[in-house]
Amino acid sequence: MRHQLFALVVVAGCAPATFAFTPASREGVTALPENCPVEVVTSVPAEKNYEELGTLEFYSGSEPKTLDAFKMAVKNQVCDAGGNAAIAIPDAKGQYTQGTIIKYLPGTAKPIQPGKPTKVVPAQAHDTEKPPGT
């Protein structure tokens, strides 16, 4: 019995990492083709416009210790969500246990982040009144 339990633990420790995906919005997603090109980055892209599609949270298996292992674990989920890239977020041990799926957008506008409305400041009207007493 002990040998079977040990074998089960060893096999479970070698299982590929799986991540739970939580979409950023309830709108439908347009999945990209299987094996779409996926980029993995470790910080928010400064020069590319993007939209956050959702988050990834480590679920089971062996935690990815490298960006390549993280990419292999989440590649299909990124394509299924319609994303072009994943931002890999390491935990305190340096293992990649969280991430954000993003989709690159054309243009030069600032990134769109769901749940964070863009503040629009109206143009100031020209005041032609003079202050009292002048």
Tell whether 63 is covered by a domain. yes
Tell whether 51 is covered by a domain. yes
**C-alpha to C-alpha distance for 53 and 29, rounded to whole angstroms:** 9
Q: What is the pTM of this model?
A: 0.69
CA atoms within 13 A on the CB side of 67: 11
Find the distance separating the first CA and the last CA of the chain, reported in whole Å.
97
* Domains of the chain: total: 1
Residue 85 banded pLDDT, cuts 50, 70, 90: very high
Tell whether 113 is covered by a domain. no
Tell whether 134 is covered by a domain. no
Tell whether 132 is covered by a domain. no
Tell whether 8 is covered by a domain. no
Q: What is the DSSP letter of 92?
A: T
Contact present, 82 and 53 (Cβ < 8 Å): yes
For the chain, the average pLDDT equals 80
Of 3-12, 35-44, 70-79, 123-132, least confident by mean pLDDT is 3-12
Domain span including residue 95: 14-105
Residue 9 banded pLDDT, cuts 50, 70, 90: very low
Q: Give the tens place of pLDDT for each residue, 11-65.
A: 445 678 999 999 998 887 889 998 899 999 999 988 889 999 999 999 999 999 9
- What lies within 8 Å, CB to CB, of 44 at 6+ separation is 50, 87, 111
Q: Percent of the chain at pLDDT above 90?
A: 57
